[in-house]
Amino acid sequence: MLTNRFSSLGCSLLVALSPLLYSQTSAPSAPKPGSSAQHALELAKEGHCPTAIPLLKKAIPQSSDKDFRRSAGLAGVRCAMVKNQFDTAEDFLRILNREFPDDPEVLYTTIHTYSDLATHASQELAMKAPNSAQAHELNAEALEMQGKWNQASKEYQKVLQENPRLPGIHFKVGRLLLSAPNPPADVAEQAKKEFQQELEIDPSNAGAEYVLGELAREAQQWDEAVKHFTRAAKLDSGFGDAYLGWGVALVSSKKFSDAVPPLEIAVKLEPQNPAAHYNLAIAYTRTGRKPEGDKEFAIHREMVQKNPPEDNASQGEPAPSQP
């Protein structure tokens, strides 16, 4: 299971990136004399990776030719991965992503390289510590991604048997409970207990506070929702959804003045979220700031017209109460 963890990202780097990698399977021609930058690139293309790698590392910073630097960086990644020089591959990737951050081939190479590195690490974990809590956690994550909810739950329980106070596991169990299809009637209560246990272990888990806030909001327990959303926002000042949930809960409980500050922050953090603008518009209007409210309503209408939602959930909108 661990070895298949990242199979969804496609073929491995050795297959996907270039057939040049397989030139080593046949006897390569002898390296040509010289050590110029272009010669280093040719060595890499011909499969002489042990010779090419140090020459490429030296040639790239010395060259001012962007086309060469790009080609040499890509060749360096491929050669380094063939020779299992993973640190070197990451060095080449850092250069490529710094100098060519929008280049499709660089991005593609980055995806496949890190996919292969992750696959290699998961194989090492499977071989060296197959019964560790970390191995069971990785298995659980893979099963969860495949929609195998019951099997994933069993793996998470094995983690808790190994280490009952490992941070993050109760949060993942709670998330799993809420994600699984056909949940039992008391699923919210079950999940709530998991998130509460998570916070006993790790009081800094903003995600657990946020989900508890969402559960309280869905149950229209506004004060409870405000409490959890406030904690989530204080734990993570960049958590836009926490500020939005905080503001929505206050709007829903008619505390419009209190709702303005968190909603203003939500709009700053998530300017493309129509729910933030809509709820801020309500808060402004209900506190006598009609011009500002009209402006936010106009922004919301424009967003909805450009991308009509099927429902609030499809836009990530907490369903606001109509005041």
pLDDT tens, per residue, the chain with 323 residues: 443 433 333 334 333 344 333 333 333 443 344 447 788 888 988 889 999 999 999 999 988 889 999 999 999 999 999 999 999 999 999 999 999 999 999 999 999 999 999 988 988 998 999 988 889 999 999 898 899 999 999 999 999 998 999 999 999 999 999 998 988 999 999 999 999 999 999 999 999 999 999 999 999 999 999 999 999 999 999 999 999 999 999 999 999 999 999 999 999 999 999 999 999 999 999 999 999 999 999 999 999 998 887 654 334 444 444 44
- Distance (Å, whole) CA 305 – CA 302: 5
Contacts of 156 (CB under 8 A, 6+ apart): 136, 137, 140, 169, 172, 173, 176
The answer to the question of residue 210 being in a domain is no
Residue 212 lies in a domain: no
15-25 per-residue burial string, b: 16 or more CB within 10 A, e: under 16: ebbbebbebee
* 172 neighbors 140 (Cβ within 8 angstroms): yes
Query: What per-residue confidence (pLDDT) applies to 39?
Result: 87
Residue 157 and residue 71 share a domain: no
Alpha-carbon dihedral sign for residues 205, 208, 211, 212: negative
Q: pTM of the predicted model, to two decimals? A: 0.70
Output the six-digit token pair for 20: 């040049």
Based on the fold, state whether residues 152 and 191 are members of the same structural domain. yes
| pLDDT of amino acid 27 | 38
- What is the predicted pLDDT for the residue at 170? 96
Instruction: Say whether both 42 and 120 belong to one domain.
Output: yes
How many folded domains does the chain comprise?
3
**What integer pLDDT is reported at residue 267 of this predicted model?**
97
* Domain membership of residue 162 as a residue range: 129-203
CATH of residue 298's domain is: 1.25.40.10
Q: How many residues does the chain have?
A: 323
On whether both 8 and 121 belong to a single domain, the answer is yes
Same domain, 117 and 97: yes
Pair 10, 113 in one domain: yes
Residue 76 has phi, psi (to 5 degrees) of -65, -40
Q: Is residue 214 part of a domain?
A: no
Distance from C-alpha of 147 to C-alpha of 179, rounded to nearest angstrom: 9
Residue 215 forms part of a structural domain: no
